[in-house]
Structure 1
Amino acid sequence: MTVLVVGASGATGSKLVEQLLIQNYKIKVIVRSLEKLPNSWKTHDNLQIIVASVLELSNTEIREIVSDCSAVISCLGHNLTFKGIYGHPRKLVTDATVKLCNAIKSNNQKGLTKYVLMNTTGNRNRDLHEPISFAEKCVIGLLRLLLPPHVDNEKAADYLRTQIGQNDDFIEWVAVRPDSLINETNVSNYTIYTSPTRSTIFNAGKVSRINVAHFMASLINDNNLWNKWKGQMPVIYSESY
């Protein structure tokens, strides 16, 4: 199986690639620069590095890249700088998701492609009743006004929910919602829930990036796990927090 990872040079995406390499997958990554990549990646037999911006690739180029991929994982996000938050492209995650899904569908291949989107607990699953307090609604409303990346995350997940849906002929999807991300070296115990079990705004949990990467890699590797969560937006917390 070949897996395409976009956002592979990021803090979580890089850990995901390492987890997939441990499991001996063939991997393609699309990165804007080689600068942040480990030297071991550049000579790894199972890793193909494509230096490009996802949104600047032509539709034909994207179709060719995904043509032999059984899974696509997006760890794209906005850099936490003024330019990264308020500059363009403001809909990086959404536009990349739409472009990749359109490429998968246009190839018209037999069999379903798995699409995994790294999202956030700040985004509710509107397929479910996920109640939040009035205070939380006010804060999230402000986030929508002040932070374009929050809206981008919402729209990317909404595209999967409403445009791909539950019965697409070519794509099955999972949108993974980590809570506050932290750095740890090793995989630890973590728990997956259908919806947040604590306030994202006022009582956020924590999860290590390597645990998120391990879960996303496990979704690709374990069909039982995939079938449990496909078409859903699971929330992940590290158990030690």
Structure 2
Amino acid sequence: MKVLVVGASGSTGNQLVNQLLIQGNDVKVIVRSSQNLSESWKDNDKVQIITASILELSEEEMCKHVSGCDSVASCLGHNLTWKGVYGQPRKLVTDATQRLCSAIKTNSPNHPVKYVLMNTSGNQNRDLNEPISFAQKCVIALLRLLLPPHVDNEKAADFLRTQIRQNNKFIEWVAVRPDNLIDEEEVTNYETYPSPIRSAIFNAGKTSRINVGHFMASLINDNDLWKTWKGQMPVIYNTSSLV
């Protein structure tokens, strides 16, 4: 299976690519710079590195990179710097999702392409009317005003929910919502739920980036797991953080 990964140079994207390779996939990555990528990727025949800015690719180039891929995974995010949070592009995740999905549809693949988006537990799945406290609603409202990356994450998931929807002929999707991200060396036990089981603002759990990578790779490779979560926004927690 061939998988296109965007955001592969980030902390979670790096873990996703490693997990995809462990699970036997051929991987294409689109990165702005290959300088900080693992040397093991550069010497691996199963990894194709494309050096480009995802939003500066032409429609023709985007279609070419997506062509032949069974799945597309996005771990794109904003750098936690002033420029990364408040500078351009403010809709990096949303615009990339829209352009990648447009390229998939233009290619008219013979079978639906899986699109896996890394999102956040702070974003509600409005298909499920997820309940949150008044205090959390107030904090989320402030985040929408003060933190453009939060709005970007919301709009990217909303695009999949409202534009791609559940019965698209060319695209199936899952938006993975980790809670508070941490670094760990190995895959550990984790649990997934249709909706948050704790407050993402006032009682956040923890999710290791390697577990997010493992879950996203497993969605791509395990068709039964995919059928369980297709068209949904599962929340993932490390089991140890729920004790």
Q: Is residue 91 from structure 1 mapped to residue 98 from structure 2 by the alignment?
A: no
Q: Is residue 130 from structure 1 mapped to residue 125 from structure 2 by the alignment?
A: no
Q: Give the number of equivalent residue pairs.
A: 241
The alignment partner of 1:12 has SS state of: helix
Q: Is residue 6 from structure 1 mapped to residue 6 from structure 2 by the alignment?
A: yes
2:95 counterpart letter in structure 1: D
Q: Which runs of 5+ in 2 are unaligned?
A: none
Once the two structures are TM-superposed, the CA of residue 169 in structure 1 deviates from its matched residue by 0.6
Once the two structures are TM-superposed, the CA of residue 219 in structure 1 deviates from its matched residue by 0.2
Q: Which residue does the alignment assign to 2:65?
A: 65
Q: After superposition, where does 1:27-38 map in structure 2 within 5 Å? A: 27-38=27-38
1:139 and 1:41 map into 2 onto residues whose CA distance is 41
Q: Which residue does the alignment assign to 2:77?
A: 77
Q: Which residue does the alignment assign to 2:193?
A: 193
The alignment partner of 2:240 has SS state of: coil
Once the two structures are TM-superposed, the CA of residue 76 in structure 1 deviates from its matched residue by 0.1
Once the two structures are TM-superposed, the CA of residue 28 in structure 1 deviates from its matched residue by 0.1
Once the two structures are TM-superposed, the CA of residue 97 in structure 1 deviates from its matched residue by 0.0
Once the two structures are TM-superposed, the CA of residue 129 in structure 1 deviates from its matched residue by 1.6
Q: Which residue does the alignment assign to 1:120?
A: 120
1:82 counterpart letter in structure 2: W
Q: Is residue 183 from structure 1 mapped to residue 183 from structure 2 by the alignment?
A: yes
1:108 and 1:70 map into 2 onto residues whose CA distance is 12
1:92 counterpart letter in structure 2: L
TM-score by length of 1: 0.99
2:219 counterpart letter in structure 1: L
Q: Which residue does the alignment assign to 1:146?
A: 146
1:7 and 1:126 map into 2 onto residues whose CA distance is 25
2:25 and 2:9 map into 1 onto residues whose CA distance is 18
Q: Which residue does the alignment assign to 1:17?
A: 17
Once the two structures are TM-superposed, the CA of residue 124 in structure 1 deviates from its matched residue by 0.0
Q: Which residue does the alignment assign to 1:55?
A: 55
1:32 and 1:65 map into 2 onto residues whose CA distance is 15
2:126 counterpart letter in structure 1: R
Once the two structures are TM-superposed, the CA of residue 35 in structure 1 deviates from its matched residue by 1.4
1:208 and 1:228 map into 2 onto residues whose CA distance is 22
The alignment partner of 2:149 has SS state of: helix
Q: Which residue does the alignment assign to 1:158?
A: 158
Q: Which residue does the alignment assign to 2:235?
A: 235
1:71 and 1:228 map into 2 onto residues whose CA distance is 17
Once the two structures are TM-superposed, the CA of residue 109 in structure 1 deviates from its matched residue by 1.7
2:36 and 2:123 map into 1 onto residues whose CA distance is 29
Q: Is residue 224 from structure 1 mapped to residue 224 from structure 2 by the alignment?
A: yes
1:86 and 1:129 map into 2 onto residues whose CA distance is 30
TM-score by length of 2: 0.99
Structural RMSD (CA): 0.4
1:5 counterpart letter in structure 2: V
The alignment partner of 2:231 has SS state of: coil
Q: Which residue does the alignment assign to 1:203?
A: 203
The alignment partner of 1:125 has SS state of: coil
2:214 and 2:25 map into 1 onto residues whose CA distance is 14
- Residues 121-140 of structure 1: CA deviation (Å, up to 9, x unaligned): 01000000201111000000
2:40 and 2:225 map into 1 onto residues whose CA distance is 30
1:108 and 1:28 map into 2 onto residues whose CA distance is 20
1:109 and 1:137 map into 2 onto residues whose CA distance is 41
Once the two structures are TM-superposed, the CA of residue 24 in structure 1 deviates from its matched residue by 1.6
Q: Which residue does the alignment assign to 2:39?
A: 39
1:13 and 1:109 map into 2 onto residues whose CA distance is 25
